[in-house]
Structure 1
Amino acid sequence: MVTGDVVGLDLSCGLLQDNIPSNSSLFLLPHLRNLNLSFNDFNYSRIPSEFGLLSNLTRLDLSSSSFSGQVPFEISRLSKLVYLDISENHSLRLETPVVEGELQVLNLRGNSQLAGSFPKVNWSNALSVLDVSSAGFSGELLYSIGNLKSLRYLLLSSNNFSGSISSSLSNLKQLIELDLSRNNFIGQIPNMFTNLTHLSSLDFSHNQLVGPIPSDVSGLQNLTTINLSYNRLHGPIPSSIFKLVNLTQFELSSNNLSGTLDPYMFAKLKSLKRLNVSHNSLSLSTAVEFDTSLEEILRNQNNLRWLDLSDNKIHGHVPNWIPETVGKLISLKILNFSRNNLTGFIPSFLKNLMELESLDLSWNELDGKIPTELTSLTYLSVLELTGKELKNGIFKMICGDVMLWKQHFLCSA
């Protein structure tokens, strides 16, 4: 403090409390470049405007520290600031620009009082991370956001954004993650993906989007996660999606998708860990296709953990897949075939799924035995499976000594 030559100060998780007085010696450090005050408790006091005196600041982290009130205008004068994190303070307001100079990272996540329209600020052309998740913003997304050519992470989930998704997002050629989930976006998904070749994660779930899934996704070879669930999308699943060979999470549940699903297309998705196309109107056309082509899917799924095909129009027998196929499924933890039109007997291959934790076969026309070898099961649903052999077997499982059952049962009387 004698020389004021301190350039970095990390007081995160420092048990600091109450407010920061305006005459604090903190503001007498003119050479300070990095300041971290995160995870303290400033008792909902205001962010001091004296932060504007620290003209050499490049990184400022005030996250999760119980600040409230207006973000001071003086912060926008910190022309050397490249990193600003004021997330998870919950009671902050933003009425003046905070994005000027060469800011690269702006994190406003979890400040639910930042209600109102998205701020019309002097955006930094260097901005690469913009996180305003759960910030209470509403209104239409500004078309000008497409001018942020350096953006790599655009995270806008859990706000009240409305209107259509701007086609200007196609200009963000450096994007790695795009999250617009849990908003009120309407209209169709624009054809915007041709230029987004670096995209790894795409989440448009929990909106009110309609129309078909765009077919221009085949160039997204770096995509590992796609989530379009809980919208009103209709039409078939475009074949171009099945060219995304690095997919690990594929979520299309709770839409109005229809058509015949060709399971052979899944064979190339060898990295897939989670597949959920439940609550649509998809079908596999015949029992023969179900027996042979679904087997082909699973033979290639070394990493599959979650398989949910529930509430569709799949019919026919569940096949007794060959041991080679079953061996590839040893990591499967969740399997859901419920609310289809499956018939015949519960397949004996299930006994080999030793890591299976949740099994739902309900609302089909299946009979047979639930394998007692499934010692990892914690959830089992056989609602509306009326087979006599199945009922007797369930009774023995619950009341007998075949194994120590810890399952949560849902079954018909």
Structure 2
Amino acid sequence: MTSQMHFRLLLVLLLSDLYSIIDVKLASARCLSEEMDLLLQLRNNLTYDASLSTKLVSWDEQSDCCSWRGVRCDDAGHVIDLDLSSDSISGNLDDSSSLFRLQFLRRLNLAGNSFDSTQLPTGFGMLKELVYLNLSETGFAGQIPSEFSRISRLVTLDLSTFSPGYILSLKLESPNLNMLIHNLTRLRDLRLDGVDIAAAGDDWCHALSSALPDLRVLSLSYCNISGPLDSSLAKLQSLSVIKLDGNIFSSPLPDFFAEFANLTALSAGSCGLTGEAPQRIFQLPTLRTIDLSNNRELGGSLPEFPENGSLETLELSYTYFSGNLPDSIGNLKMLSSLRLFGCNFSGPIASSISSLSQLIAIDLSVNHLTGSLPSFSLSRKLSSIGLRDNKLIGKIPLEWKGLKNLTFLDLSDNSLSGELPAFLFSLPSLETLTLPNNRFSGQISELESASLSPLEQLDLSGNNLEGPIPKFVFKITGLSTLSLASNKFTGTVELVEFIELKNLFSLHLSYNKLSVGTSGSDSDFSLLPQFNSFMLASCKLQKFPFLKNQSRLNMLDLSENQITGEIPNWIWEVHDGYLPYVNLSHNHFTGLQEPYHFHTHQYLDLHSNLLIGGIPLPPRSAVYVDFSSNKFTSSLPADIGNHLSSAMNFSIANNSIVGGIPLSLCNASLLEVLDLSGNSLSSSIPSCLIEKSRSLVVLDLHGNKLSGNIPDTFPGDCKLETLDLSFNQLEGKVPESLVNCTKLTVLNLGHNRIGSSPSTP
């Protein structure tokens, strides 16, 4: 046999042995039948939505279970990894589940399912090989079983949950936190957000520092833990992520947090932190996220930031941080989110912010910032700019034309000026443009509809804008809010022009130089959008617009117009009678069309009209009622009995009238402001009206013909702040019980026949 033949034979033998080894290996990697049976039992005992499931629904009994979605096996065919997260699973999971017989499981993820607030099974403690367990957002409730402390190999434990309204559903009481983790010494990642731990600072801090020396991720948001933050936490030098939001520490942020050399994220919002935050924390070279928002007693100032800082998110909103924004903020080249809303910062906005190329969102609203707007010349990723309620001046920079990703812009309540650049209305992504209460002036240029921004909210109110409303506004078909109020717009606008804005929810045109026309048929007006807010004060309206088909209206303001005749009775039926805010003041209305039926109205203003007859009885829901400066007298409508019965569910027998002020008015139990001044009401003041000062804050009856004594019935819990009974024919003495009204700041009894005053409250 030649050497070449020997070589070939040897090669065949070697390959044969290799293939045998590979066959054995592959065979051993196949799913074990008993473990496949356990998985199938688990699936059959779980409830899941087949239309939403991507894992359980795909398990095929004819295939190797190690190839099933969410399943991974080791070389011996044991299931070691089971991931059923977000698979629309619901129902019950108890200790008898086959899940707990998968004894080789090393990783288990059931997150994002719903187990209907059932108790956590103790069976999890049987899975002693687990190194990873994720039960976050699974709907389990009640005490975390002590058996969890037996899973001593755990490296990651996630039991975090947030119920609606942050109602804590899981709790650590017995066992407590210390008893749970004292055996879990290998933990690197602990997430118990939303678990009711109810422990004081020294307890939970010492438990963590003594049991988990190598902890890297600590997430205990909304856990009902308290402070102060104990110095024992300083032992956890491996910490990379700290999340403690929503607890009540009522203590300073410890300086030792700045000693954590690996810290990448610190989140401690809404924790009642006090004092001054250590500047060194912001200078940690590893830190990418810091959120200390909603700690209103936490102050401090921003430091000088080192070059090439790693910060990506800086969130200090609703704190008492102050000082200037340092120019070194431009060193944070990775910064994508800067939110300092509602702080106390002052001075100009650092120009270096414009060089932050990764910036996506910036909110510096409600501070004391001065100077001009940043150019954002390199911030082309910006999607949100919030700078409202500062002291900014100047014009909108031309460089903003390049902000193609901008979706939200709020510059309201500043002193910005100049004309509005046309490009603002053609930014390709802009959905919200809010510029009220500035000094913008001039006309708005017309634009082609093809280039319009996809605006949903447009608020230009409270400026000095002139000329006609641009026609392109009526072509922004996605608009839901349009407010042009308190400008100097001129011309005539017909209401039917808004028919094409199908999504319009809120329309505010008040206080311009506009004339709003109501030409068109009732059928035309039925095609108007379904408004929530319809505000047309001082719009030279001659006719009550036909709004009978409005099914969502909550706020109606037609004040300061020129509408005559009767107030139509259908207006009280709009939105099924739920119309909380109605202002029809300063018109020429002469009466209320009968029969009318008040429903749910909280703010009802009919003052300064020509209304006659008896005082309309406000609904029980009324909080603010102003019927002043009309011609109401003690005379009653002819159908007063029917009116009272239908409007207030009272019979005529229960509606005695005293001087034109009906006693049933006292049944509006929520009433805080009542103004009947400037009418022709006579006779005496009902004593029940004075008794109502336990809810009334303002009572104004001045300028009538009221007589008799002021009832001495002011209650001990009187809430009146304003009482004006002047210019009537009242007599007698100032009632002694008036001393009960300790909050009274305005009292006018002048031009009556009243004698001596009571002792000073």
* TM-score, normalised relative to structure 2: 0.50
Aligned to 2:515: 343
Deviations 1:325-376 (A, max 9, x none): 72x4221110011111222522545532342111011112112232211122
Matches of 2:450 and 2:436 in 1, distance apart? 20
| Matching residue within 254, 259, 263 for 1:77 | 259
Verify the 8 A CA contact 1:147 1:171 in the aligned structure 2. Answer: no
> In 1, are the aligned partners of 2:425 and 2:453 still within 8 Å (CA)?
no
Structure 1 residues 63-74: aligned runs within 5 Å: 63-74=245-256
The 5 Å alignment of 1:71-110 reads 71-93=253-275, 94-95=277-278, 97-99=280-282, 100-110=284-294
Please name the residue that 1:406 is paired with.
Answer: 578
Question: What's the counterpart of residue 545 of structure 2?
Answer: 370
What CA distance in whole angstroms lies between the structure 1 residues aligned with 2:516 and 2:306? 64
- Residue ranges of structure 2 left out of the alignment (5+ in a row): 1-181, 586-608, 610-761
For residues 184 and 541 of structure 2, the distance between their equivalents in structure 1, rounded to whole angstroms, comes to 80
553, 558, 579: which one aligns with 1:382 = 558
Question: Are the counterparts in 2 of residues 47 and 68 from structure 1 also a CA contact under 8 Å?
Answer: no
How far apart are the structure 2 equivalents of 1:49 and 1:205? 40
* Contact 1:109-1:132 at 8 Å conserved across structures: yes
Structure 2 CA distance for aligned equivalents of residues 270 and 352 of structure 1: 25
SS at match of 2:570: helix
Select the structure of larger CA radius of gyration: 2
Alignment of 1:206 with 2:389, yes or no, is yes
Question: CA offsets, 1:292-316, max 9 Å, x none?
Answer: x42x4323x2321100011111122
SS of residue paired to 1:64: coil
Say yes or no: does 1:186 pair with 2:373. Answer: no
Deviation for aligned residue 1:10: 1.6
Structure 1 residues 23 and 379, CA, compared in 2 at 3 Å: closer, same or farther? closer
* Cα pair 2:485 2:508 within 8 Å, conserved: yes
Q: CA RMSD, aligned part only?
A: 2.3
Any conservation in 2 of the 1:270–1:303 contact (CA below 8 Å)?
A: no
Stretch moving more, 74-83 or 179-188: 74-83
Identical residues among aligned pairs (%): 30
Looking at structure 2, the residues matched to 135 and 373 of structure 1 have their Cα atoms a distance apart, in angstroms, of: 47
Question: How many angstroms apart in 2 are the aligned matches of 1:350 and 1:207?
Answer: 41
Within 5 Å, which residues of 2 pair with 1:280-299? 280-285=463-468, 290=469, 293-294=470-471, 296-299=472-475
Offset at residue 148 of structure 1 (A): 0.4
Q: What residue number does 2:606 align with?
A: none
346-355 or 206-215, which deviates more: 346-355
How much has 1:58 moved relative to structure 2? Answer: 1.8
Deviation at 1:409, TM superposition (A): 1.1
Using the TM superposition, give the Cα deviation of residue 73 of structure 1 relative to its aligned residue in structure 2, in angstroms: 2.3
Report how far residue 101 of structure 1 moved. 3.4
Question: Is 2:242 the counterpart of 1:60?
Answer: yes
Does the Cα contact within 8 Å between 2:305 and 2:329 map onto a contact in 1? no
**Match in the other structure for 2:194:** 13
CA distance in 2, matches of 1:142, 1:374: 52
Match for 1:318 among 486, 490, 493? Answer: 493
- Say yes or no: does 1:248 pair with 2:415: no
1:37 corresponds in structure 2 to 220
CA–CA distance in 1 between the matches of 2:517 and 2:278? Answer: 64
Alpha-carbon separation, structure 1, partners of 2:484 and 2:415 = 18
CA 1:232 to 1:25, structure 2 compared with 1: closer, same or farther past 3 Å? closer
Kept in 1, the 8 Å contact 2:492–2:514? The answer is yes
> Secondary structure, in 3 states, of the residue corresponding to 2:447?
helix
3-state DSSP of counterpart to 1:65: coil
SS of equivalent to 2:262: coil
Question: Is contact 1:331–1:353 with CA below 8 Å preserved after alignment?
Answer: no
**Displacement of 1:26:** 4.4
Q: For the Cα contact (< 8 Å) 2:394–2:417, is it kept in 1?
A: yes
Label 1:123 to 1:133 Cα distance change in 2 as closer, same or farther (>3 A): farther
Which amino acid in the other structure matches residue 339 of structure 2?
L
8 Å CA contact 2:304–2:328 kept in 1: the answer is no
2:459 equivalent to 1:276: yes
C-alpha change, 1:126 and 1:368, in structure 2 (3 Å) is same
Among candidates 503, 507, 521, match of residue 331 of structure 1: 503
Question: 1:266 and 1:212, CA in 2 relative to 1: closer, same or farther beyond 3 A?
Answer: farther
Cα distance, 1:86 vs. partner? Answer: 1.1
- Conserved? CA contact 2:418–2:442, under 8 Å: yes
Instruction: Decide whether aligned partners of structure 1 residues 31 and 145 sit closer, same or farther in structure 2, where only a CA change above 3 A counts.
Output: same
Residue identity opposite 2:230 in structure 1: P
* Farther off after superposition, 356-365 or 65-74: 65-74
Q: State the AA in 1 paired with 2:568.
A: F
* Residue of structure 2 in register with 1:396 after alignment: 569
Residue 264 of structure 1: aligned partner: 447
Residue 241 of structure 1 aligns to a residue in which SS?
Answer: helix
- TM-score, length-scaled by structure 1: 0.89
Q: CA deviation at 1:222?
A: 0.1
Letter in 1 for 2:215: L
Letter in 2 for 1:333: F
More helix, by proportion: 2
1:115 aligns with 2:299: yes
Q: CA distance change for structure 1 residues 3 and 360 in 2, over 3 Å: closer, same or farther?
A: closer
Amino acid in the other structure paired with 2:197: L
Matches within 5 A, 1:221-240: 221-240=404-423
Deviation at 1:97, TM superposition (A): 1.8
Preserved contact between residue 208 and residue 233 of structure 2 (Cα < 8 Å): no
1:92-147 deviation digits (Å, cap 9, x = unpaired): 33135223131111001112222243345668721100001111011111111111
**C-alpha contact (below 8 Å) 2:349/2:373 kept by paired residues:** yes
Alignment check: 8 A CA contact 1:134 1:159 kept: yes
Task: Summarize deviations over 1:15-69 as a string: whole Å, max 9, x none.
Answer: 22222335425443123221111112333x2112222222222211011111132
The equivalent residue for 1:358 is 533
Q: Check conservation: 2:438, 2:463, Cα contact below 8 A.
A: yes
Contact 1:10 1:37 in 2 (8 A): yes
- 8 Å contact from structure 2 (residues 550, 575) kept in 1: no
Q: Please give the secondary structure, in 1, of the residue aligned with 2:250.
A: strand
Report the secondary structure of 1:68's partner residue. Answer: coil
Q: Which of 1 and 2 has higher RCO (CA within 8 Å, sep 6+)?
A: 1
- Inter-CA distance 47–330: structure 2 relative to 1 (3 Å threshold): same
Question: Are the structure 2 counterparts of residues 403 and 207 from structure 1 closer, same or farther at C-alpha, using a change threshold of 3 Å?
Answer: closer
